[in-house]
Chains A and B, each alone.
Chain A
Amino acid sequence: MAKVSVAEQRGLVLAHGQVQPWISGTFHYWRVKPDFWAPILENIKKMGFEMVETYIPWGVHEIERGRFEFGETDAEKNLEKFFQLVHQAGLKLIVRPGPHINAELTHFGYPSRLMYDPLIAATEASGGYSVHDAAPKAFANPSYASQKLYNETALWFDALAPLLKRNLHPQGPIVSLQVDNETGYFFRTGAYLLDYSPESIGWYRTFLEKRHGTLKALNDCYGSRYASFEGIEPPRYFAGEKYQDLPYYLDWSRYKEWQINECMRRIAEMWRERGITEIPFFQNFFGPVNSPYNTNEAEQGNYGLEVVGLDDYQRKEVFFGTSRKSAYLAGSSKLPFIPEFGSGCWSFHLWENALNIGDQQFTTPLLFMYGLKAINYYMIVERDRWMGSPITVDNKIRKPYFDFYAGWNAFLAKTAFHQWDPPRDLLLLANYDIERAIKAMRVTEGHFLHFLPDELAYPDKPPMFQYLLEEECPRWTDNQWRYILKNHLPAFCSDTIISSEKMEGYKAVWVPTFEFMDQRAQKNLRRFAEEGGTVLMGPLVPSLDENLRPHSEFKELQNAFQANVGKGKLVLLREWNEKEIGRILTEAGVQSVAEWAPPEILCTRFKKDGKEILFFANPAEKTVSFPSPMKKGLVALWGAEGTVSPGQTIELKPWSVTVWEVRP
């Protein structure tokens, strides 16, 4: 039995059974003079943090191949000393030992000796090595299929594991470990960019064999005549002419999804083999939620990961995406968690999102407002190549930032916010099959070395499907979330990879559907309806499965807009019609948390033990005022002061989030 585990929707369960809310911040010990470590930890505590997080950089601790420095001569690398100080301070520690860490280091934390090795480098569709054109120094992105990389990583893990093991909770501060970092092709998200290295192609063929079982089954699926799995070459761009050609291309995308998870599984297994067995492992995808990334599969599959979160670095103006990301995690993950949330920004590439206090004051509460339960602020201590954190590299305080985190953490602690839950009325599902296909149907890919507009990738030719999927599917998905926001509906998001267990408890599920959908996803939706829920779909009824073969679990809808199945119903929405959507959702029992609130503001509601709190956010430059028609008064908990009696005006300042307790 692990000494630390994950409490669903709450946090970590520690050795003595208490639940620790996961609110942490990042501090890179090796980039700060050791004399500052203890006083900085004290300042971190003063902000109300009970957990800190750090990378452990392989490339920094390695002196030469197989030899490592942990403070014997260089005090800044004295990892055990750092662990001890964290423990003495009464803080818990999250470690992220790689092998990949990025950390804005020149070689992303890998030893530089590995970064130009053809046996480690990933290969792109063009046949070139996957060179990462970073400003100080370009290097090759490693291949997740490189056995040499795993062999070299083993040397690092061998050296580090004993040190970690003797500092695990409760003897030491370590309560969780991240497996690798942002595993996902180093920001190259296109289906046909990488990895085409010989070892990766070997993995691809192994994957095809696992997926199809026999060559005959594969040939039946593709309509092909391959004589062996070894004879199958991966696609390097989409050249299909009809929809029956798609399975071959979709399998390449599926392989890439699997490759990420298989890489994480191997690394997790390497830690377990070295005795790190008593703490949960987690992973962070860098942001996107479509192929090759999937939180549901990474958590549900047998990959050794307890929690899979999504990183986020955005200015407040993109609140639409930030709120949806939070709702996605709340609908998908065991513990809705952002492992890296921008507290400041890297100064490295003069990136366009230099986040400042105005962004953090708005976006941080916004995340919690839409269901986030766990967060790691990256970074709360500045260092080389990072700016805008509450504590500087020499332990000075940036007061507005420091005060904000201290105040927000106090709010979370005082309310025990991790114990509050929003109503789960509605679940929005992104159609993962369609989104995978959209990426697989590209005839070319833009590249870091040469920008190409996305639209160029979809050629002019007779359409395979009724709609241009690359236009129609995102339109429906975006419209759905826009509809949720303006109507203040209690909704979470996920995608069609979700398990049927995670769909339990909702009143309705709404998913954009087109000609094809995974059989398992179809069955899950049907089961949800049969057990009493409402499934809203459209504009088309799926009539094909994931291999584009005839299959539909929704035959009742082929000639009707609505059908009762079991205790619930299936409803088809052929066109976007908000009046009709409103009627269907109301009938399903989905209720606005504040139908009286203006559509331009955001509003969510949480409950605990019969008590209620309301979040209001104003995502615009103008103040918004409106009367409270509630029969009960409101008491300000965050972002405002005083009380609002029934009929009194609520005033929301520009770019503000306020939290109110509803008087009993």
Chain B
Amino acid sequence: MIHPDVVYEHTEINQVRNFVDISKIAQPNPRTLYVLHENGRILKAWDSASGKVSVPGPLNPSFEKAEELRLQFKADEVQLIDRETYQRYLKEALNLEKARDLTGYDFKEWTKNLKLTMGNGFLIHPAREHYDYFHYVERTKAFIREKLQPDCVFLIGVNEGRDWWTSGVFVFTGGLVTTVSTFETFEGKEGMDAALPATHQNLMTTAAWKFQKTAFGLFLSREPFELFAKNQWRKMGQQILLKTAP
């Protein structure tokens, strides 16, 4: 969903910093029990919350065993990793043709899906939606597909009082993001009351005119935005969007 030649310009760092910090809250960060083994012979078991733990071996990895360990160690997630299978996963995932042919995010998604198909030798239970900072790829793609247009500009504005706490301007071309900015890109709009619907509409009109594309906009205040973050952004895409033609 990101074009290889994407341009990031006129980004205001404090607004981005606020977004980056809130995105950390949006990480699921499960308590994970890792068990590294060699064809069942346990090499090390590590609980992300409590450190080194003892798991009786030899291990006969299966989903049932993973669930049993998950309950036993009160973990959210269990990863049973046979060293050879892990290496086999890496070998398959580090695929030059896929890297060349897919977009960056599609490559990430492909490697994620691959890791969930390695059988009992590389077993993650339960499967996660994602394993990477900031990247809820499938949901983001669904939002773009269902709520936006392949060629459009999407604004998100989060206000704290009359100021912008964070903001984003995403220009889509052919379904891929080609430009990213904050509201700094809109010259002469500094100082407008960020809480006012009139300001939001003004920015929508400006964006549609500036980029000559239909503008979609999502404006909310910091508190509900943080609540969405704590829920891994779920249901945020169901918010009603403003829409303005160029």
A137 touches B180 (CB 8 A): no
Q: Is B91's beta carbon under 8 Å from chain A? A: yes
Give min CB distance, B226 to chain A, whole Å.
Answer: 17
A131 touches B95 (CB 8 A): yes
A126 touches B52 (CB 8 A): no
Name the B residues within 8 Å of A345 (CB-CB): 13
Q: Is A404's beta carbon under 8 Å from chain B? A: no
A354 touches B95 (CB 8 A): no
A460 touches B44 (CB 8 A): yes
Name the A residues within 8 Å of B31 (CB-CB): none
Closest Cβ neighbor of B90 among chain A residues: A126
Within 8 A of A (CB), among B32-56: 34, 36, 42-44, 46, 48, 51-52
- Known A130-B94, A138-B107: A393·B133 in contact at CB below 8 Å: no
Closest Cβ neighbor of A346 among chain B residues: B8
Give min CB distance, A51 to chain B, whole Å.
Answer: 24
Within 8 A of B (CB), among A106-143: 106, 115-116, 118, 121, 124-131, 133-140
Within 8 A of B (CB), among A450-466: 450-453, 455-460
B44 touches A459 (CB 8 A): yes
Name the A residues within 8 Å of B111 (CB-CB): 133, 449
With beta carbons under 8 angstroms apart, the residue of B8, B34, B36, B90 that contacts A128 is B90
Q: Is A444's beta carbon under 8 Å from chain B? A: yes
Name the B residues within 8 Å of A127 (CB-CB): 87, 91
B14 touches A126 (CB 8 A): no
Q: Which of A16-24, A382-390, A417-425 contacts B (4 or more CB under 8 A)?
A: A382-390
Closest Cβ neighbor of A389 among chain B residues: B13
Cα(A514)–Cα(B14), bound, Å: 46
* Total chain A interface residues with beta-carbon distance under 8 A: 57
Closest Cβ neighbor of B13 among chain A residues: A388
A136 touches B4 (CB 8 A): yes
A447 touches B43 (CB 8 A): no
Cα(A217)–Cα(B7), bound, Å: 56
With beta carbons under 8 angstroms apart, the residue of A349, A392, A449, A459 that contacts B93 is A449
Q: Which of B17-25, B141-149, B197-205 contacts A (4 or more CB under 8 A)?
A: B17-25
Q: Is B230's beta carbon under 8 Å from chain A? A: no
Within 8 A of B (CB), among A226-256: 236-237
A450 touches B131 (CB 8 A): yes
Q: Is A533's beta carbon under 8 Å from chain B? A: no
Sample (28) of A-B pairs whose CB atoms are under 8 Å apart: A115-B100, A124-B90, A124-B91, A126-B89, A126-B94, A127-B91, A128-B91, A135-B2, A135-B108, A140-B99, A347-B180, A348-B8, A350-B20, A350-B23, A354-B13, A354-B16, A354-B17, A355-B13, A385-B8, A393-B9, A393-B10, A443-B36, A443-B43, A444-B83, A447-B90, A450-B86, A451-B131, A460-B43
- Using a CB–CB cutoff of 8 Å, the interface residues on chain A facing chain B are 106, 115-116, 118, 121, 124-131, 133-140, 236-237, 344-345, 347-352, 354-356, 382-388, 392-393, 443-444, 447, 449-453, 455-460
For the complex of A and B, list the 8 residue pairs with the smallest distance between their C-beta atoms, beginning with the closest. A128-B94, A388-B13, A354-B17, A126-B90, A138-B99, A137-B4, A126-B91, A459-B43
- Using a CB–CB cutoff of 8 Å, the interface residues on chain B facing chain A are 2-14, 16-17, 19-20, 23-24, 34, 36, 42-44, 46, 48, 51-52, 81, 83, 86-100, 102-105, 107-108, 111, 115, 131, 133-134, 180
